[in-house]
Amino acid sequence: MKEEPQTENLVKTVLKDEIQEINEIIEDFVAKLRQTRRKLRKKLLIKRNIFPLTLAYLPEMISTLLVMKNCVSEGIVSTCYREMRKILESLAWIILDDILLFKKKEMHWIDMYAPPPLRIPNKKWYEWAKEKGLILKSLSQLKKSLKQIIEKINEKYGWKKKQISRTLLNNTTYPLFLILIGANEQIPTHLKDAVPLFNSKRFKMFVERDLERTIIQLKGGPLSDPDKEVYRRIS
């Protein structure tokens, strides 16, 4: 809701110094973002032909910050809050997508299903998922899905569950992530083109690699045949 003109004028008068400081902070941050975007574009896009979503999102983020700067100057507090929340929510999904996609340099799985699902969200998909209660709202929900894997590794080796959880999360790439959050929901006919459908069996090889790396790091050395059998059974 937009503040009344009297409230806006009062905010501008009482918080004159704070408004100036906030605007300076935003201007400085925008300048740093533009510089970062130029560096990343040259390093990733041009030299390595990598297309991170974070890089693509920076221009929109800069525009949003400039809108906030104008709102601060006008004393429109509620709009600033909404725009800050928008930035944080967008960054959360975008950075997650980049981490899952690029961190292990095993992107050839994309040949099966391109583009990765977090890159193609749409309103119909979101509304259907929300209605079905399939929205992943926090990391704690993902950890619940990891529990079974963690317990099996703990049962075999006796390593601390927190250590297993941390190492497993660090080695999770897109295929394992999709398996962990997968839902056996029948997609309505009218949403066939809006909601991605994956054959989880085709992810098995990539899931095994994530689990293999996890056990190697926890063990601190090469795996024996019995070790390999552990992650193969889990996957």
Q: What is the pLDDT of residue 161?
A: 92
Decide if pLDDT at 112 tops 80.
no
Q: Which amino acid is located at 169 in the chain?
A: L
Domain count within the chain: 2
Q: What angle do CA 119, 122, 128 make, to 5 degrees?
A: 120
Q: Give the count of beta carbons closer than 10 Å to the beta carbon of residue 62.
A: 16
Mean pLDDT, the chain, integer: 83
> In Å, how far from its chain's centre is CA 83?
19
Q: Domain range spanning residue 184?
A: 111-234
Query: Whole-model pTM above 0.75?
Result: no
pLDDT grade, residue 194 (50/70/90)? confident
Instruction: Looking at the structure, tell me whether residues 127 and 215 fall in a common domain.
Output: yes
Q: What is the pLDDT of residue 104?
A: 61
pLDDT grade, residue 153 (50/70/90)? very high
Per cent of the chain over pLDDT 70 is: 89
Last residue of a domain, one of 73, 102, 131: 102
Instruction: Looking at the structure, tell me whether residues 64 and 174 fall in a common domain.
Output: no
Decide if pLDDT at 204 tops 50.
yes
Last residue of a domain, one of 57, 83, 102: 102
How many residues are present in the chain? 235
Instruction: Looking at the structure, tell me whether residues 98 and 116 fall in a common domain.
Output: no
Decide if pLDDT at 1 tops 50.
no
Q: Give the count of beta carbons closer than 10 Å to the beta carbon of residue 18.
A: 11
79 touches 2 (CB < 8 A): yes
Instruction: Looking at the structure, tell me whether residues 136 and 179 fall in a common domain.
Output: yes
Instruction: Looking at the structure, tell me whether residues 151 and 208 fall in a common domain.
Output: yes
Instruction: Looking at the structure, tell me whether residues 191 and 121 fall in a common domain.
Output: yes
Instruction: Looking at the structure, tell me whether residues 156 and 222 fall in a common domain.
Output: yes
Query: For residue 79, what are the contacts with CB-CB under 8 A and spacing of at least 6?
Result: 2, 67, 68, 71
3-state helix/strand/coil string of 138-169: CHHHHHHHHHHHHHHHHHHHCCCHHHHHHHHH
Q: Give the count of beta carbons closer than 10 Å to the beta carbon of residue 60.
A: 12
